[in-house]
Each structure stands twice: as structure tokens, then as C-alpha cells.
Structure 1
């Protein structure tokens, strides 16, 4: 298998793990300089008040900070920001390989910056809606973390539920990519003692991209 874009990324191991487990954790998905550029862009947009409180529900109509506490801004693939361009290039390379080797028929990627304030969290939930016209559009959830020097006592873990009694707590350290099947894995964001930034997205098979 050809390893594309970032030589640090082992696409073959990533796809094999995703196929076997339904989820995968990949360190150093993008070069450090790209992660720095993405982090700077996320914080710039936050400082410029370009983010809005994230909403929940089938049509993203309800804003309840006690359930979901992040602020988001959606990304445009036509952005001239070099770090955003590198991110989309890497994700498109990944999508091509997922379709080639796992036959996932992924057709699009929707993604946004997300910043959680100190104490912000997102209660246990699934990413794929099970009813409505957009059901089954989101197939694969993607989270790329942008947080430098993150320590275990900073909190803010992604808690990924493997079944009713087991879960993984994943630290949101810079450069780490987490992929998981959107319809299978319940997950939550634990409260953090520091501001927490990520790029969160979904590979889709069909349906209207958001917003």
C-alpha cells in the first residue's frame, strides 16, 4: 500500500486496525508544523469571535451547554490557509484508501474546529442519527487533536465506549487522530482543566453537508 502525503503516517496499519476493531488511534497524523498552523488558526478564529456554540439534535437546532460545551466553526475546503489545505489533502488521501481497501463508499468530509473552554464537556452520545432523511450518511467519525504539552492530569479525554462495560480514555494530545465507526461507538468528552482544541469531522456516504 502506498503511504501518501505525510511519511510519518502508516496508512496500512491504520486501515488494518480500523478494519479489525472499528476504531483506530494514530499518532503524528500530520507534521508538527501543520498541527501548529491548525492550532493557530483555531485560536485566531476563536479570538475573532468567529465560532458559535455547538448545537445538538437531529437538525442541530438545540443549544444546551450542560450537554455540549464546545464552540465550533466549519471548515471550507477552498480555504487558502496552508495548514487547512494540508489537512484536507491528507484526509482525502485517507478516504481514497478506505474506499479502495474497505469498500466504504465515502463521498465527502464535513469538518469543524472545536474549542472546549475549561470545564467544557460533551455528554455520552452517538454521531450517526438512526432515523430521518439523513440516516446513515455519517459513516466514520474523525477527531484530530491540536493540544500541545497535554498531560494526563489536564483531563479532557475522549471516552470511547467499546461495549457496555469497557471503555478507552484517549488523551487529546497534538497530532493524534482518532477514527471510529459513527453508528457503533458511543463516546463522550470529559471535562478538561485547560482549553481544548480539535478538528472534528465525519466521512459521509451521502446527504447534505452541514451547516
Structure 2
């Protein structure tokens, strides 16, 4: 998927430098504000129409619901919806730009909308285990206008192997986080009001799924 680059080269250089140095990057704004608002309205309508489903842990045969670990609702983005498509196209350009700067071999991207209702949370976890997943980079785009600090719902990122929180991110509209999927434990703190976001993963090509030639 090819799309106009929505992010300035200088900002892309900043992201690449921080990923190379720290393994993560937090930006107050990555994408144009109108797109962020369109995505917010899109996920809020999904919530209104009960189009989001309870999220679980694990994938495929290991999938299970466990409300002691997470209580969010999700829906995968679709190429068939124009707003979803606009975001996926932006992430495709972002992926190519990161490959050009960091030689990560990122092959594709998957993402879902997420809704955390009052009382919802996601306990500390990592998004990939070394050598067991093709997820390389995790992204989170927040879609909450005028988020008050007392509403909770912050993303807490931990120093690997410790209990030290190295970043606490308010889920404010437009804030964008990207980090190494297999490196940083993180959690979503309990919310006191509806919280919306898009979680996504840049992946490398899985040799077991590579097409034959």
C-alpha cells in the first residue's frame, strides 16, 4: 500500500534516533489532527453500535478470555473502511521510512481499535517473546480529546527486568508511542472514563508463512 508521507523527514529521523538509542519513542503528535479526530469518531461509533468485542490473551488455539488480566474491547482495522484505510496507509509509509533508516526488515502491519470502559485495565505484559513472535515494533495511537489526568488509563512502561517505570503516558488525542515489542513490559492503568486508542504491530516476515517461489 503506497500513500503520501504524512510525517516530516525530521520527525522520522527523531523517531529512528530514539528507537536506536532507547528502544522506544513517545511523540505528542505524529499524524495530522483531522485524521486523529476522524479515527476518534470512528471508534466511538463502533462502541455505540456494540461493534467492539471483549479482548482476550493469546492467539489462535491459545486464545482465552481472562478478565483478571485485561478488560478492554477491540476491533481490527479493515482495508475496506476509508478511515481505517487512511491510518493503515500512513503506517505503511511510516514502516517504509523506518526500514530505510534502521534496516529493521518490517514486512507488514496489523492494528485494532481498543476501548477501555470505566474500571477497565490491562495488567503488565510484553507484546512478544524473543524468538517466538514476528512482532518487532508496537505502536499505540491515543484518541481521547481533553483527557483529564484524574481519569487514569495511563500507559506505564517498565525498565526491562525491573519494577521501575520509565514512562507514564497520558492517553491524549494524537499522542503516539512506538517501542520494541519483545523488550518493554507495559500496562494500562485502570480507567475512570471511556478511553480509546489504536494498538498496532509492525511485523517481520514469518519464514513459515513466506510464499513459495
Instruction: Say whether the fold is shared (TM-score over 0.5).
Output: yes
Deviations 1:102-133 (A, max 9, x none): 111010101000000011000000100346xx
2:118 is matched with: 118
Residue 96 of structure 1 corresponds to: 96
> C-alpha separation between the residues in 2 aligned to 1:98 and 1:119?
36
State the partner residue of 1:176.
175
How far does residue 165 in structure 1 lie from its aligned partner after superposition? 3.8
Q: Is the Cα contact below 8 Å between 2:154 and 2:169 reproduced in 1?
A: yes
Deviation at 1:8, TM superposition (A): 9.9
Q: Which runs of 5+ in 1 are unaligned?
A: none
Could you say what secondary structure the match of 2:75 adopts?
strand
> Distance between the aligned counterparts of 1:6 and 1:206, measured in 2?
25
Is 2:7 aligned against 1:10? Answer: no
Distance in 1 (CA, whole Å) between partners of 2:70 and 2:10 is 31
TM-score, structure 2 length as denominator?
A: 0.88
State whether residues 8 and 31 of structure 1, in contact with CA within 8 Å, keep that contact through their aligned partners in structure 2: no
SS at match of 1:10: helix
C-alpha distance in structure 2 between counterparts of 1:24 and 1:152, whole Å: 21
* Gap regions ≥5 residues in structure 2: none
Structure 1 contact 35–175 (Cα < 8 Å) conserved: yes
1:136 positional shift: 2.8
8 Å contact from structure 2 (residues 6, 32) kept in 1: no
Shift in Å, 1:19: 1.0
Moved over 3 A (4+): 6-9
Closer, same or farther: CA 72–84 of 1 in aligned 2, 3 Å: same
How many residue pairs end up in the alignment? Answer: 201
Following superposition, the deviation at residue 176 of structure 1 comes to 0.7
CA contact (8 A) 2:111 2:201 kept: yes
Tell me which moved more, 20-29 or 161-170: 161-170
Three-state SS of the structure 2 residue aligned to 1:11 is helix
CA-CA distance at 1:58 after TM superposition: 4.5
Q: Distance in 1 between matches of 2:40 and 2:184?
A: 27
The alpha-carbon deviation at position 12 of structure 1 amounts to 1.1
Alignment of 1:1-211 (within 5 A): 4-7=5-8, 10-59=11-60, 61-76=63-78, 78-81=79-82, 83-130=83-130, 135-163=132-160, 164-167=162-165, 168-207=167-206
Q: CA RMSD in A?
A: 1.9
1:159–1:9: structure 2 CA closer, same or farther, 3 Å change rule?
farther
Query: 2: CA distance between counterparts of 1:160 and 1:183?
Result: 13
